[in-house]
Structure 1
Amino acid sequence: MPIIVTPYIPTYITVHLGTPDSDAENLTISFREYIKNVASSEVYPTWHNSALRANILAQVSFALNRVYTEFYPSQGYSFNITASTAYDQKFIKGRNIFDSVSTLVDELFTVYIRRQGFVEPLAASFCNGTTTVCDGLSQWGSENMAQQGYDSVQILRHYYGDNIELVTNAPMQDIQYSYPGAPLRLGDISPEVQVAQIMINRISVAYPAIPKIWQVDGIFSSSTEDAVRELQHIFNLTVDGIIGKSTWYMMVHLYTGILRLSELVSEGQTFFQLDFEYHQAIVYGQRGESVTLLQYLLSILAQFYLTIPFLTIDGVFGDETQAAVQALQLDAGLPQTGTVDEETWDVIIDRFIGIDRTVLSNPKFFPYQSPSSGEVEPELLHSYFSARPGQFPGFPLELGASDNDQERSES
C-alpha cells in the first residue's frame, strides 16, 4: 500500500479458516505462530535445512505481501489471509508444530524476500511441484536442489530470479491499516490527501475518464473532488466526492491491482531517495540500486536528448545501459568508456537538474511537482519512476496528437 512505505512484521495476523467468501471462522494468531503452522503444514520436517529455510522465507514473504497490500481488507473482508491453498497458503487450526520447523521460524520470521529496488515483500508463490506446478517455488524441487548442495538463497534465486534480496530484522508492530480513520473531503490538507491524489492519478491511466489531478500537493481541491466523483461513478459507489472508507479501499484495491503488487511479477513500489553525490564508478555488469538510479536518470535524459537511446530500468548494467552512457559521453565530449566515472556522473546530474527545474517541476507539463532540494520525496519519485501520466509517452508527439491518444495507448 502506498501509505505503508516500510514493510513490517505484524505482531498478529487474522486468518480466515476457509475460502474468502465461505462462512468460516476468523482466527487471530501471532505472526510467528502462524508461520510455524504454515511451515509445518506445507513441508516435511525431515527435509534438508536449505530447503526448509527457502520454503519458510517464501511463506513469510507471501504472508507479508498480503498484509502490505491490504489484499483482503481492500475488498471488504475482515481478515488478512485465508487458510485455503487455492488462494493463499495452508494453515490447520490446532495442528502440532515440528521442532525443527519451530527453531528455524524463530530465526527467520523477521526476514523476507523482495526484488532489488522494490519495497513490497515479494508475493512469493509456491506449489508442491508434483501434482501442481506454478511460476514460483517448487517445494519438492527445492528439496532436490538442497540435496545437490544448493543453499537457501541459491534455491530462491533459481525460482524467483537473480534480482531478489533478503531484508533482515524487519521491525515488528501491530497491523496498521491505511485508511486515515475519517473521511477526506473538500478543503482538507494532509499527507493522506496527497496519497489519495497519487493513487487516483495512477488509476486514471487505466481509466482515462477519471480526470488528472494536476496539483499533487495534499490539498483536497475541487479538481480532486471532481476526480473522486468520477471514480465513484465508474465503480458504483456513492457519488459524493468524499473519500470515505469504501472509496479509499476501492482506490487501494485498484492501485494494488494496476501495479500488480500482490503478484509474483509486479510493477513494484520503487520508493527511494535520489542521491546526487558521486560515490564510486558504476560499471558494466554491476547490479543494484545505484544502477537503477542511473537508468532512471538516463531514461529522463533520453526524452530530451535524441542521441541518447531509451533503455530498460531493471537494475542491471548491460548493453543497453552501456550504449546510453556512451551516447551521453559522446554528446558531452567525454571519452566513450561506457563507465560512469565522476566526470560522467556530474554531466548526468547537471543535465537532470536542468530538466527538473525547467520541465519536471512545471505543473503545466507534469502533474507532480518535485521539491527544490537535492532529494525527491519517495511518493513523487514513484510518480516519475514508473512512467506516470504526464510523462513523455516514449514516442514522438505529432500534429493532431492529444493526451487522450496517450492515455488510450497506456490503458
Structure 2
Amino acid sequence: MPVGEPFIPRDITVHLGRPEETANNVTVSFPDYIKNVVSSEIYPTWPENAIRANIYVIVSFALNRVYTEWYRSRGYPFDITNSTQFDQKYIYGREIFENVGQLVDELFNSYVRRQGNVEPLFTAFCNGTTVTCDGLSQWGTVPLAQQGMTPYEILTTFYGSDIDIVTNVPVMTNTPSYPGFDLRLGLSDDPVRTIQVQLNRISRNYPAIPKIGEAAGDFDYITQDAVIAFQEIFGLPATGIVNEATWYRISYIFTSVKNLAELNSEGLTQQDIELTHTEDLHFGMQGKNIRALQYHLAVVGAYYAAIQPVEITGYFGEQTETSVKSLQQAFGLPVTGVVDFSTWNALYDAYTGIVESIPLDTSVNDVVLYPGVVLREGTTSEYVRLMQQYLTYIHGTYPEIPTVNATGYFGPMTKASVMAFQELFGYPKTGVVGTAVWNAITSLYSDLKYGYDKQPYQAPGYTIT
C-alpha cells in the first residue's frame, strides 16, 4: 500500500466476477466506472441530494480499494470486482443515466474520509431493503434527502459526524506501489519510508517485529532487523532485503491488520504521510544534502580516475557540477550536472562498492569511511563503536561534547554526545548520524589526532580506472 495523499486514478481495472473466478478484466476510466456503478446501484429518479450522497460513497469505496491495493497486494491483476458480495455492481456496457453522468462529472474527484485521516473511508453500504448492514442504506438516503438534508448530513447519519468530504482531488496515472527496485541497507528514499510506516503498524500485532521508531526514509540496521523478523514470521527468505515479494506481503499484512475492509478502518493520519522528499540537487543549492553529495563524490573521486573529486563546502558550485558531470559520463547517464534519482543511485552504488571492498581494519587507519547507513538511537554496530571512540577523543579538546563508552550500542548517552557535537558545529540537533555529520566527526577527529595534512577519505591505496 502506498503511503501518500490519495489521488483519483485515471483508470481502474474491474474483474467481471468473484475474485477467485476466471473472468475478464476490463480497464475503464475512473469517472466512467463510477457512472456505471451509480447507474447500476440506484435510481435516477431519486432526489438529487440522495444521488450525490451515494456518489460520494461509491467513489470512496472504489478509492479505498485502489489506495490500499486490496486485490493487487493479494496477487490479483485488478483493482476491484463487480461482485456485490465483495464490491460494487458494475455491468459492462450498460447505459448511463444522463443526470447521473452529469453529477458524477462534478463529484468523481471527491471522497469521504475520517477527520484527521487521509485514506478514503471504506464506505460500506447496502440497499437497505433486501439487505441491511452497518453502513449506508441506499434506500434510506431517499427520505433523508426529502427532509431537506444535504449530502454531508445524509452521510453523517450513517457514518458518524467525524467525517470530511475531500474535494478537488488530483487525477493521476495509477501505478503499482512497488518502486521497481529492491530496498536494502543504506538506501534513503520515500519507498523506504513507506515500508517503515507499515512495519511499525504491523509490529503492534506482531511484537516480534522490532519497532523502527521514526520513519525517516533511511534503510538502517534497525529497519533491516524489522524486515528480517517480518520475513521469518511470514515464511519469506530472511534476507533483510525488500524485494517485490516482500513489498507486497508487507502491504497485504499491513492492510489486513488495520482492518481496512471494515467500516471502522483506523486510517493513516496526516503525520504518517508527511513524506521525506528527496529533491534533485543542482547548481546554486547549499546545505547538509550538498555536503552529503560532496562527501560521496570526494570518496568516489579518490578511487575512480575518471571522476573529478570535490571539496566538501556545502555549496553546489562549478567544481561540484563538473564532478557530477564526470560521474554521469563515466556511468553512461545523461550529462546534465543535476543529481537526479538515477545519478544518486549510481553514485551510491559506487560508494558502497568502495566501502565493502575496504576491510574494517582500524589497526591500519582508525578513521573509516561513512558506512553508508544512517546511525541512530537503537543501532548496534562496529561503526557505532568507532563513532563513540571519535567523540570521546574529541572531548579532550571540546569538553562540551560528553564522553561515551565505546560499546557499539547507540543509546541515550551516545545520542546526547552526538547532539552536543551537532549544536557546537552548527548542525541540526537530531541525534542522528548521517553522511554530513559522520564526515564532520571523522574530519575533526583526524585533524586533532593526525594533523591537518589530509582528509580521512583521501588515501585510497589504489585507483579504479
Per the alignment, in what secondary structure is the counterpart of residue 52 of structure 1? helix
Which has the higher Rg, Structure 1 or Structure 2?
Answer: 2
Per the alignment, in what secondary structure is the counterpart of residue 175 of structure 2? coil
CA contact (8 A) 2:63 2:120 kept: yes
Deviation at 1:219, TM superposition (A): 3.1
What is the aligned partner in structure 2 of residue 407 from structure 1?
Answer: none
Could you say if the C-alpha distance between residues 228 and 137 of structure 1 is closer, same or farther in structure 2, counting changes exceeding 3 Å?
Answer: same
Within 5 Å, give how 1:199-218 maps onto structure 2: 199-213=198-212, 216-218=215-217
Instruction: Give the aligned length.
Output: 283
TM-score (norm 2): 0.57
Deviation at 1:149, TM superposition (A): 2.4
Deviation at 1:200, TM superposition (A): 1.6
CA contact (8 A) 2:210 2:225 kept: yes
1:221 aligns with 2:226: no
Letter in 1 for 2:16: L
Within 5 Å, give how 1:85-124 maps onto structure 2: 85-124=84-123
Deviation at 1:152, TM superposition (A): 1.5
CA contact (8 A) 2:2 2:67 kept: no
CA distance in 1, matches of 2:97, 2:147: 24
Per the alignment, in what secondary structure is the counterpart of residue 265 of structure 2? coil
Letter in 1 for 2:97: F
Letter in 1 for 2:23: A
CA distance in 2, matches of 1:129, 1:267: 25
What is the aligned partner in structure 2 of residue 36 from structure 1?
Answer: 35
What is the aligned partner in structure 2 of residue 67 from structure 1?
Answer: 66
What is the aligned partner in structure 2 of residue 166 from structure 1?
Answer: 165
Could you say if the C-alpha distance between residues 95 and 197 of structure 1 is closer, same or farther in structure 2, counting changes exceeding 3 Å?
Answer: same
Per the alignment, in what secondary structure is the counterpart of residue 26 of structure 2? strand
1:51 aligns with 2:50: yes
CA contact (8 A) 2:184 2:241 kept: yes
Could you say if the C-alpha distance between residues 214 and 62 of structure 1 is closer, same or farther in structure 2, counting changes exceeding 3 Å?
Answer: closer
Could you say if the C-alpha distance between residues 255 and 17 of structure 1 is closer, same or farther in structure 2, counting changes exceeding 3 Å?
Answer: same
CA distance in 2, matches of 1:146, 1:373: 55
Within 5 Å, give how 1:297-316 maps onto structure 2: none
Within 5 Å, give how 1:242-257 maps onto structure 2: 242-257=241-256
Within 5 Å, give how 1:2-401 maps onto structure 2: 2-3=2-3, 5-213=4-212, 216-272=215-271, 364=412
CA contact (8 A) 1:9 1:173 kept: yes
Deviation at 1:85, TM superposition (A): 0.6
Runs of 4+ in 1 over 6 A off after TM superposition: none
CA contact (8 A) 1:214 1:363 kept: no
CA distance in 1, matches of 2:411, 2:134: 42
| Structure 2 unmatched ranges of 5 or more | 273-409, 414-426, 430-465
| Structure 1 unmatched ranges of 5 or more | 274-361, 366-371, 375-411
CA distance in 1, matches of 2:73, 2:93: 28
CA contact (8 A) 2:110 2:167 kept: yes
Deviation at 1:95, TM superposition (A): 0.7
CA contact (8 A) 1:35 1:105 kept: yes
Letter in 2 for 1:193: V
TM-score (norm 1): 0.64
CA distance in 2, matches of 1:112, 1:373: 39
CA contact (8 A) 1:186 1:222 kept: yes
CA contact (8 A) 2:225 2:240 kept: yes
CA distance in 2, matches of 1:215, 1:123: 27
Could you say if the C-alpha distance between residues 213 and 112 of structure 1 is closer, same or farther in structure 2, counting changes exceeding 3 Å?
Answer: closer
CA distance in 2, matches of 1:117, 1:239: 36
Q: CA RMSD in A?
A: 2.7
Could you say if the C-alpha distance between residues 137 and 373 of structure 1 is closer, same or farther in structure 2, counting changes exceeding 3 Å?
Answer: farther
Deviation at 1:204, TM superposition (A): 1.4
What is the aligned partner in structure 2 of residue 405 from structure 1?
Answer: none
CA distance in 2, matches of 1:229, 1:272: 26
CA distance in 2, matches of 1:143, 1:163: 22
Deviations 1:27-66 (A, max 9, x none): 0000000000000000011111111111111000110111
**Segment of structure 1 superposing worse, 121-130 or 249-258:** 249-258
CA contact (8 A) 2:61 2:122 kept: yes
Deviations 1:90-111 (A, max 9, x none): 0011111111111111111111
CA contact (8 A) 1:120 1:261 kept: no
CA distance in 2, matches of 1:181, 1:91: 32
Deviation at 1:188, TM superposition (A): 2.2
CA distance in 1, matches of 2:151, 2:160: 13
Letter in 2 for 1:69: T
What is the aligned partner in structure 2 of residue 331 from structure 1?
Answer: none
Per the alignment, in what secondary structure is the counterpart of residue 139 of structure 2? helix
Higher relative contact order (CA 8 A, sep 6+): 1
